[in-house]
Amino acid sequence: MKSQTEGKKEFNVGDKVWWAKYQRQTIKKVCPICDGKLRVIVILGNKDQIETDCTYCERGFQKYGWVEEYEYVSAVEQIIITSKEVKELPNGRIVEYGYENYCLTLDNISETKEEAEEKLKEKIIQAEKEDLEHTEYSKNQNPRKYSWDIGYYQRQKKDALKTIERCDRKITYFKAKIKEQK
């Protein structure tokens, strides 16, 4: 096995490096319903307006004004290495660098911003490829034909559209309930 560091520059604690960051993170976003104001104005069919609490961004009895979503975050960021761990193994050498709570390798960090940007592009391409490979692996584990997949996803789409229609009916119903309370 080839050493992980073979032909690559190693870094030390305190060095500034560029991190090609591509990871899934929790992102706080302003509530799309109340825009962070915790209250909403519902416009009824007859144009009456009713102000009420936003329940979309509340958890239990606490209102927040924001919601959490998961997204892939990609960025090139300059960081300072805070720790370094070297493992000498019979089949090679492994170097791990620490930054905050992250464990990084030479695959994640670079000396220049341009190198990190190239690594980031490669990481995104690799992640997309792995996603497709996962789909293909799942397909290979299941001997059904691709026509089954097409039918399955058409059914999923049809069900999603029915869910949207059902939600629209519920919204109309609750708007009427708010009007009745007025």
Does residue 78 lie in a domain region?
Answer: yes
Domain that holds residue 98: 16-143
User: Which pLDDT does position 59 carry in this prediction?
Assistant: 81
Does residue 159 lie in a domain region?
Answer: no
For residue 31, how many other CB atoms are within 10 A of its CB? 20
Give CA 62 to chain center in angstroms.
Answer: 25
Q: Which phi and psi (to 5°) does residue 28 adopt?
A: -90, 130
> Three-state SS for 29?
strand
Separation of first and last alpha carbons in the chain = 74
User: Which pLDDT does position 36 carry in this prediction?
Assistant: 92
Does residue 150 lie in a domain region?
Answer: no
User: Which pLDDT does position 138 carry in this prediction?
Assistant: 65
User: Which pLDDT does position 169 carry in this prediction?
Assistant: 93
User: Which pLDDT does position 78 carry in this prediction?
Assistant: 95
Does residue 58 lie in a domain region?
Answer: yes
Alpha helix locations (H) across the chain? 113-140, 146-181
What's the domain count of the chain? Answer: 1
pLDDT digits (tens, 9 = 90+) for 106-162: 988 999 999 999 999 998 888 888 877 776 666 666 655 666 677 778 889 999 999
pLDDT digits (tens, 9 = 90+) for 21-78: 888 788 899 998 899 999 888 888 888 888 888 888 888 778 789 998 877 788 899 9
User: Which pLDDT does position 134 carry in this prediction?
Assistant: 74
Does residue 160 lie in a domain region?
Answer: no
Does residue 104 lie in a domain region?
Answer: yes
